[in-house]
Amino acid sequence: MCISRFAQPRHRCLSCALPLVHPHPLCQLCLRNPPPLTLCLAATSYEWPWVDLISRFKFQHQAGWDRPLATLMLSAPGADDALDAAHWILPIPLSKQRLAERGYNQAWLLARQLDAGKADAHLLLRTRDTLSQRTLPRTERLANLVGAFAVDPLRASVLRNKNVVLIDDVMTTGASLNTAARVLLQAGAAQVSALVLARTEAAVES
């Protein structure tokens, strides 16, 4: 009921998941500056009622939302195909400090629900704590994430020529996803896509 009423599919840019009103597959920004993500899919917009549910899931220790929210992610057009084509499904990792504060990584819980056999919480690592991305403008978000991700050096070979899908709960500017994608591509991944639960809508192209 909630998905059919509040998460109707929208036409979105295939590279950054921003909603589009024109029929083209990509927004003008992604055409001018292609991101490292081959594909980026979002299940819904970051708006009511999902804002409240994601907050409960993420900040109020209500980890039981992982299954219904993962089901919502599967409703994103193209999600099943992207997950089927993936060799690895990797959550955006949290720093040790944030993981200790929160008690769990919500992106990992979602990834495990999407496909436990392909999900891995230790292949992509968070190498340092960073400032909260929520309060930073785009340029500062990118600078904040320099050197924040790395591939486990003892397992980097398992990424070679493999397709990876990154998982996160909310995508704002895409700084975390794109930074992580570059790290994975540098480690030898063939391509990196992303599937997120919700996308903020800072811009809608006409």
Question: How do the domains of the chain map onto residue ranges?
Answer: 2-199
* Mean pLDDT split into 10-residue runs, the chain, 206 residues: 61 95 91 96 92 93 95 95 98 92 95 98 86 55 70 96 98 93 97 97 53
- Rg of the chain's alpha carbons, rounded to an integer? 16
CATH T-level topology, domain 2-199 = Rossmann fold (3.40.50)
Q: What is the pLDDT of residue 160?
A: 97
Reported in sequence order, the residue ranges of 84-134 that DSSP labels E, i.e. its strands, are: 88-91, 124-126
Give the chain's largest Cα–Cα span: 46
pLDDT of residue 75: 92
Cα separation, 7 vs 2, in Å, equals 7
Tell me the C-alpha distance between 180 and 146, whole Å: 10
pLDDT at 49: 85
Tell the burial category of 81 from Cβ atoms under 10 Å away from its Cβ (0-12, 13-18, 19+). exposed
Q: What is the DSSP string of 28-80?
A: HHHHHS--S-SEEEEEEES-TTHHHHHHHHHHSS-GGGHHHHHHHHHTSTTHH
Q: Looking at residue 4, what is its pLDDT?
A: 55
pLDDT tens by residue, 121-164: 999 999 876 545 455 555 555 556 666 899 999 999 999 999 99
